[in-house]
A and B are shown apart, each in its own frame.
Chain A
Amino acid sequence: MQENCLLKMRNINKLFPGVKALSNVDFTLRKGEIHALMGENGAGKSTLIKILTGVYQMDDGEIIISGNSANIRSPQDAQNIGISTVYQEITLCPNLTVAENMFIGREESFIVRHRYYEKRAEKILNDLGIPARSTQQLGSCSLAVQQMVAIARAVDMKCKVLILDEPTSSLDDNEVNMLFSLMRDLKSQGVGIIFVTHFLEQVYEVCDRITVLRNGELVGEYLTEELPQVELVAKMIGKELDELSSLGEFEEKQTAESEVFYEAKSLSSSDALPFDFEIHKGEVNGFTGLLGSGRSESVRAIFGADKVNGGTVKIKGEDVKITKPIDAMKHGIGYLAEDRKRDGIIADLSVRENIILALQVMKGFFKPISRSEAEAFADEYIKVLNIKTASRETPIGSLSGGNQQKVILARWLLTHPDYLILDEPTRGIDVGTKLEIQKLVLKLAEDGVSVTFISSEVEEMLRTCSRLIVMRDRHIVGELKGKDLNQAQVMKTIAGGESKNEG
């Protein structure tokens, strides 16, 4: 429509087994603009990005770049037509030097002139203020610096379209500001930037336009200044907001002082700084904070998932030692890990085997659950949690994300835990399942199970938790309950404006 249109995606459709990831999504990027792609987890942002970068093939639709229809079948294709991407996970080779990582795959000749590239890399690194030497082995840099190197590489590629897929999650404020000035620079050179992020403030700081996706569908495209933050959130969450409020968002949650189930004093692990924490019987609390704020690391320390360095732990008032996951499990703690693929599912094993796994471990090596018992358990939980699977013998890997998550939940429910830690149980799954999981959490709490619930979506946590622990920079910076449990207060505490109610 507009004269300076750089990239057009029209009627993009993508079907994954069991899930419609994208249906008829349009997206337009103009020259010299920073365009935010927003949506909840599982809205289809990353699918759209991956189609654009050639990692996935779309089922139907059209991509037009600078007026020409483009056929992108591999990351190389994307690179060649001027699309470069920085992913959330670092896609560089840790065994090569920084300079090599910036130039490999796009050298001008067959001979690699190390000195020349090192000098060029050094210059780029200096210009961008990245604290790395070009001759350094990439693996010896911190993750943030590695991410910056990936950005430097993308920037140097003279691309027309730059995609930044949640690049800021491992950067600190300073680095983020550096990145932003870089983005503005590129923008003035006419590069179109697609910016995917979870941080609303960042969107309002740099972006010109916002496209919102929800459940794989396009909600709309807006100019940033015309869309207030509250409205953006409403658009992202959608009409489910009203629907969800029936869960009792504003009803005063019971914080009646029941007995303390779990108590930790200055608990620390290889990844988590010392912190104090306690949870009551039948209480639902939450850890909140930005990615990398230490919320996952803290709950991992509770479960003994990382190497525990120090601190004392009491369960029902008795001193216990939890250094390994099995210790925690024996004391009635269950932990649903943040990264479902990496830490949760055993992909090739059947739904049945995945469900009984934790219980089996607790029963011990020499007391296997019989086949018929296991089948009964599996059938029971498939029914209770409404898991959509062809049969209980289907490999879990072939289920959709939401159903995989339910299987993992079933695995922990089967152990009848007294305390269940759920780290991002609703990430990347459809809204219906999200609702079911939230309801389940509240029901568990009614039955006297303590639950720690972590989610990137503050809304979701406000609906389920009666107490929120806020973390920033790996420290607990506040504890919110009762009247303080509202979006504005949470945001304030996360951002660090108010930290008087320190717990």
Chain B
Amino acid sequence: MEKKKFRREPLTDTQLLMTITICIFVVMYLLAMLLLKGGFLHAQQVFDMLNDNASLIIVSCGLTIVMITGGIDISVGAVTSLVVMSCILYLNKGGNIFVAVALALGIGIAFGVIQGFLISYLEIQPFIVTLAGMFFARGMTTILSVNPQKVEHEAFSKFRDIKIVIPWLGYTAKNGNLVPARIELGVVVALVCLVLIFLLLKFHRLGRGFYAIGGNQTSALMLGINVKMTRFISYILSGLLSGISGFVFMMHTGAGNATNAAGMEMNAIASSIIGGTLLTGGVGNVFGTFFGTITLTTIKKIVVSSGLNDPWWQSITTGGMLCFFILLQSVVLSRRSKKKKA
């Protein structure tokens, strides 16, 4: 970090935290390639991580927006789950794929609008509102169906099977067959969302507004930003992305049950934090969040590949990693503010 001082412009807090994450991710992955070899040498390893986590990436992006404004949305996982269940039931009744997409987006936006209204216009604490939203979505999911459901819809199954195949990134399996690298459509959706939100945050008036109200709400008001409206929109976006995430989740699993995406909200929060978003608001970036997500996944993969198969190792290392990042950020930022004072 000290070396960065020689750059033309010192990094902003957002950039600094993101750079740390990316560096740690790269180092970690390289170490895994060197020491653990195995799957880490194949490109498919990365694609698998993306395939498995496309919906988490989307949800984390939404959460990052809300966290940049200084809020929190813990309903995202539950909304994802609700969207999965409703879409499956709808498709199994012989529905149309496009209507299913609209349904997914509709549910997400509906949650966003209601939660956003309660938070920004009625000034209720975001944690409570979205906690209720989470309960409601979870409850609705089980009301729709307690039993696991599988999609039985021909067109959808075909749609689901579409994969981007890259032969030259493939690897040779033990039986001598060439296994080409495969990327699911969901990953494409996730990356498109990622880029769009990045552009929104960076180059749109609204996006800068998110940062402004997260930085200092009173100042933002004085600077002529419609604080309430901006906050409202941040929750709508988060809801919308939860809807998209639900659809992507369904494309990945092809099935749903009441405990789908359980704990996703906490994973999303962890991803955002590792990616350099501060819960206090004003600092964060969706690319950071993206790296946060894959860092989190890589840790889990490394734990499994190291032969620590007990499931509790995964969460303990995740917790340890989280602790490390949180402390690192706290130390880096406090040193920074001290330097400024001096």
Contact = CB atoms under 8 A, between A and B. Distances in A.
Q: Do chains A and B touch in the complex (CB under 8 A)?
A: yes
B220 A93 contact: yes
B224 A100 contact: no
Interface in B240-255: none
* Secondary structure of the B contact surface, majority rule: helix
Contact of B203 (A96, A105, A111, A137): A111
B314 to A, nearest CB: 34
A140 B10 contact: yes
B224 A139 contact: no
A450 B302 CA distance: 67
A206 to B, nearest CB: 25
A87 interface: yes
Given A92-B216, A137-B13, A105 B283 contact: no
A373 B283 CA distance: 49
B93 interface: no
Interface stretch (B73-81, B204-212, B321-329): B204-212
B132 interface: no
A111 B208 CA distance: 10
B9 interface: yes
Interface string A71-113: 0001110010000010100111111110011001111011111
A104 B224 CA distance: 8
Contacts of B3: none
Given A104-B208, A104-B225, A106-B224, A95 B13 contact: yes
Interface of A, secondary structure class, is: loop
B203 A92 contact: no
Nearest to B9: A135
Chain A: interface size category: 20 to 34
Contacts of A93: 211-212, 215-216, 219-220, 223, 282
B226 interface: yes
A114 B222 CA distance: 21
Contacts of A110: 204-206
A92 B219 contact: yes
B96 interface: no
B340 interface: yes
Interface in B215-237: 215-216, 218-226
B340 A139 contact: yes
Interface in B122-178: none
Interface in A107-162: 107, 109-114, 133, 135-137, 139-140
A101 B225 CA distance: 12
Contact of A104 (B209, B218, B340): B209
B88 to A, nearest CB: 37
Contacts of B220: 93, 105
Contact of A105 (B207, B216, B224, B337): B224
Given A105-B225, A139-B340, 10 more contacts: A79-B224, A93-B212, A93-B220, A94-B215, A94-B216, A95-B14, A95-B282, A111-B203, A111-B205, A139-B13
15 contacts: A79-B224, A91-B216, A92-B219, A93-B216, A93-B219, A94-B216, A95-B211, A95-B283, A97-B12, A110-B205, A112-B202, A112-B208, A135-B9, A136-B10, A139-B13
Interface of B: 9-10, 12-14, 202-209, 211-212, 214-216, 218-226, 282-283, 337, 340-341
The 9 closest A-B pairs by CB, nearest first: A105-B224, A93-B215, A95-B215, A95-B282, A91-B222, A105-B223, A91-B219, A137-B12, A93-B212
